[in-house]
């Protein structure tokens, strides 16, 4: 089967909600004619010995755009977070941004306005991006980058999103990142860093280092809410260093 046909076939399975495929040994018939077709079966075959199942990762439609992703999210009720939301917070900024910032999830101000990072932490993030860029001789405004979160609806009481919520919403984050294809990503805080890299460490271990999401460099730094707490002078200096590193990497 040609890659295009295989993609269409897999997209069809995805559209009808099928996420697991089973493999069986190729039969003589399948080997001779269309082995891939024989492998791609929605249910374990009754006769052949069942091989381990393969969980399909979410498949991004080819030629994906932010608009299409937004339409696919729609009036999302895929997880419990929709119950408490006022507005879904998709993301904001330049669709072709070479740099994307990823936070954890909307807070109260973001939930009210439908825009990420507009509350106190957001204002600090904007100041940090624009202020650091200016000091480093880089012309950059907040609207030149793209800003979004791992989960698009506000977790009640600003709690950390649960694993299943991040998994469900993460497919849209991954599609956003694939559609934008930035030169680098800056993960703000441990939750975003773990969601993108699959690592388990805390933010202090990961920050300041280049990690990776599907081949795109990811710089991990502190979440701006953490920097708002008093007595965090060291963290503020470190966050500034992280941001300088990412800005020079992307814009030099
Ligand atoms: N914190 C986040 O992680 N994201 C926002 O959009 C606002 C606060």
The residue to mutate among 100, 112, 121, having the most atoms of ligand 1 within 8 angstroms of its beta carbon, is 121
Taking alpha carbons only, the member of 236, 218, 190, 214 closest to residue 100 is 218
pLDDT in tens, 142-194: 999 999 999 999 999 999 999 999 999 999 999 999 999 999 999 999 999 99
The residue to mutate among 102, 103, 150, having the most atoms of ligand 1 within 8 angstroms of its beta carbon, is 103
CA separation, residue 244 to residues 22, 132, 135, 219, 229 (Å): 47, 7, 9, 11, 21
Cα(141) to centroid of ligand 1, in Å? 18
Residue 120 φ/ψ region, left for φ over 0, alpha for ψ in the -120 to 50 degree band, beta for the rest: alpha
Cα(221) to centroid of ligand 1, in Å? 14
Global pTM value: 0.81
Residue 218 CB contacts under 8 Å (≥ 6 apart), including other chains: 184, 185, 186, 187, 193, 196, 197, 210, 211, 212
pLDDT in tens, 67-96: 999 999 999 999 999 999 999 999 999 999
Minimum-distance ligand 1 atom for the alpha carbon of 109: 7
Q: Say how many C-beta atoms besides its own lie within 10 A of residue 7's C-beta.
A: 14
Task: List residues near ligand 1 (CB under 6 A).
Answer: 103-107, 110, 116-117, 119, 121-122, 149, 225
């Amino acid at each position: 089967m040609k890659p295009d046909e295989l993609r269409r076939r897999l997209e069809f399975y995805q559209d009808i909600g099928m996420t697991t495929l089973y493999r069986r040994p190729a039969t003589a018939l399948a080997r001779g004619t269309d082995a891939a077709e024989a492998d791609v079966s929605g249910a374990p075959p009754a006769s052949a010995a069942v091989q381990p199942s393969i969980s399909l990762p979410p498949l991004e439609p080819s030629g994906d755009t932010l608009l299409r992703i937004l339409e696919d999210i729609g009036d999302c009720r895929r997880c419990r977070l929709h119950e408490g939301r006022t507005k879904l917070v998709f993301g904001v900024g330049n669709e072709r941004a070479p740099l994307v910032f990823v936070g954890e999830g909307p807070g109260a101000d973001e939930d009210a306005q439908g825009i990420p990072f507009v509350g106190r932490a957001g204002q600090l993030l904007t100041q940090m991006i624009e202020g650091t860029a200016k000091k480093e001789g880089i012309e950059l405004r907040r609207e030149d980058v793209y800003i979004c979160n791992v989960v698009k609806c506000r977790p009640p009481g600003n709690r950390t999103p649960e694993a299943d919520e991040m998994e469900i919403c993460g497919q849209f984050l991954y599609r956003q990142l694939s559609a934008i294809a930035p030169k680098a990503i800056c993960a703000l805080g441990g939750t975003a860093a773990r969601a993108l890299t699959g690592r388990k460490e805390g933010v202090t271990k990961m920050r300041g280092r280049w990690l990776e999401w599907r081949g795109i460099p990811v710089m991990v730094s502190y979440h701006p809410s953490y920097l708002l707490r008093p007595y965090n002078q060291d963290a503020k200096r470190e966050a500034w260093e992280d941001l300088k590193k990412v800005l020079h990497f992307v814009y030099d």
